[in-house]
Structure 1
Amino acid sequence: MTPLVVRPEPQNHSLCDALRQAGHRPVATPLLAFAPGAGLEQVPALLNQLGCRDYVIAVSAQAVNFADNALKNQGQRWPDATYVAVGEATGQAFAAVGVTNALVPDDPRSEGMIALPQLQQPAGRRAVILRGDGGRHMMAPALAERGAQVEYCEVYRRCYREDTDGQLVKEWQRHGVDSIIITSGGLLQHLFQLAANSAKDWLLSRLLIVPSIRVVEQAKALGFTHIINAKGASNPALLSALDERKRND
């Protein structure tokens, strides 16, 4: 298959390598890059205040990586705390920086994190949520209602690639893109907005690989009809979903 891979670097490169090894012909077009967020400098001080019963919650691998760099710049390590990752890819990012005991829910969404047994009685504990600009606002209210003291920390911001002259879509069509791998709702929305009106039908007819049921629902609302839920944003999960469709064909 010829999948379009729009996730940011370096994940884009590693996913394309895995796809080629599996016999696919990926078209790499990163549509998203990341820059330091408004709260990044606060990370060392915030995490330094946490105790072993408190929570550090990361909503993406990027949140982990940016926070880790901020800690290293101050000569500081990740504290002894309870760590929660939104999904497998974020859990792997934690492991890569030395946090090997992060909790990873089966459902890679805020709903999955909220349902974890370890988060059912957080009363009196602090919770720092590492995230980017924007995003959903479900975790903090749910934990606060259960008695936790919650604080968001915006450690990165998203910078989406533009396509003012419509050349990107034309390039994808020339390469014969038959499928698209999407790893977040934000990327899906931006991709949809990039396609000119004349290319909407082409875009919506592609096979779409997405990481969660939430993005499935978002894709359906936009008009996509050929959707596979990879149930994760890791390379193995995405590749397995694409290979499943290839075998079925």
Structure 2
Amino acid sequence: MLLTRPGRQAEGIAARISAAGGMALSLPMLEIEPLRQHEDIERIKAGILALDQFDIAIFISTNAANLGLEWIRQYWPQMPVGLSAYAVGPGTAAILREEPWPVYCSDEGVTSEHLLALAGLQSVKGKRIALFRGQGGRELLADTLRERGARVDYIEVYRRRVPRYERREVLGMMENEGINVLVLSSQQILESFVQLLKPDDGKNASLDPAQDKEQKALLSLQQQLRVIVPSRRVLETARAAGFVHVTDAGGADDDAIFASLLRIRPETESP
């Protein structure tokens, strides 16, 4: 199977797959880069130093939690009194629970919509909320909380970068290694993977035998691959992109992904 998480974030699930008798290769479709420019550092520092003026801190990913806590620990030996933490997903919540502050996470799912359904985020009029995230991304959380009367400030601690791969080499590797399961653990990772496999604009495949072969290989992958995604929203995007066999793991953490892999295992084993 092929894992697409950034860098070393795939190591845990890869080890579990190996221990269960499977083989996992890694092709990171995103790279996470902490913000290091002077203006970014000053902006982050200002937000961290003002953290005692906030009522709620929301962390949208494990990367936001890890890097956010790294910053907070530099300036706050103890968590600011009265500050509550909210996490998107159990993996993010587990990181935040390393500190002695109340941490809230939806048991129903791993999307912004699930987080927004929590009781503690309903009556937020007049409250200040710090939203830890990477540069860019969905605006649903902030927009909805502002509609509910909260003041929301972003503390952006990293940026995402899409690695460059050669389409032909990736398709060849997947065919040669017999990849039959693809794990796409976020919406942006899915979009990056789809973009990688997208045919070059302006080329006529019927006049290019090599490209025609690639198109056939891509079609075969879309029809045969078992694809694991973390949520219903990503599942719908994957199906719209042409993937036929898509499973919603109900989370992007190792436990959710591994449980889904075990469920589809009978479909991927040779008779």
TM norm structure 2:
0.83
Q: Partners in 2 of 1:135 and 1:173 — Cα distance?
A: 32
Verify the 8 A CA contact 1:40 1:67 in the aligned structure 2: no
2:137 to 121, 135, 138: 135
Write the mapping of 1:88-237 to structure 2, written as runs, cut at 5 A.
88-96=90-98, 98=99, 101-105=102-106, 106-164=108-166, 166-195=168-197, 197=199, 198=215, 199-205=217-223, 206-237=225-256
More displaced, 65-74 or 121-130? Answer: 65-74
Q: Which residue of 1 aligns with 2:211?
A: none
Deviation, structure 1 residue 72: 3.5
In structure 2, do the counterparts of structure 1 residues 216 and 108 end up closer, same or farther at CA, with 3 Å as the change threshold?
same
Task: Report the Cα distance in structure 2 between the residues aligned to 1:123 and 1:51, rounded to whole angstroms.
Answer: 18
Tell me by how many angstroms 1:195 deviates: 1.7
3-state SS in 2 of match to 1:180: strand
Q: Return 5+ residue gaps in structure 2 as ranges.
A: 200-214
Q: Please state if 1:71 is matched with 2:72.
A: yes
Q: Could you tell me the TM-score, scaled by structure 1's length? A: 0.90
Residues 41, 70 of structure 1: 8 Å contact kept: no
1:248 is displaced (CA, Å) by 5.8
Structure with max Cα Rg? 2
Residues 32-43 of structure 1 aligned to structure 2 (within 5 Å): 32-37=30-35, 39=40, 41-43=42-44
- Of 110-119 and 28-37, more deviation after overlay is shown by 28-37
Q: What's 2:212 paired with?
A: none
1:67 shift after superposition: 1.5
Q: Which has the higher helix share?
A: 2
Is this contact kept in 2: 1:47–1:78, CA < 8 A?
no
Q: Give the count of matched residue pairs.
A: 246
Q: 1:174 to 1:102 in 2, by over 3 A?
A: same
Distance across 2 between alignment mates of 1:52 and 1:239: 40
CA-CA distance at 1:125 after TM superposition: 0.9
Structure 2 residue identity aligned to 1:43: I
CA distance in 2, matches of 1:166, 1:30: 16
C-alpha deviation, 1:6, in angstroms? 0.8
Distance 1:248 1:166, change over 3 A: closer
Distance 1:190 1:93 in 2: 26
1:95 Cα deviation from its structure 2 partner? 2.5
Match of 1:4 in 2: 2
Q: Work out the CA distance in 2 between the residues paired with 1:40 and 1:171.
A: 40
Partner of 2:175: helix, strand, or coil? helix
Task: Please list the CA deviations of residues 196-233 of structure 1 after superposition, one character each: whole Å capped at 9, or x if unmatched.
Answer: 54243133121110011110111111111101111011
Identity %: 29
How far apart are 1:14 and its partner, in Å? 1.2
The reply to whether residue 23 of structure 1 matches residue 24 of structure 2 is: no
- The CA deviation at 1:169 is 2.4
Contact 1:109 1:212 in 2 (8 A): yes
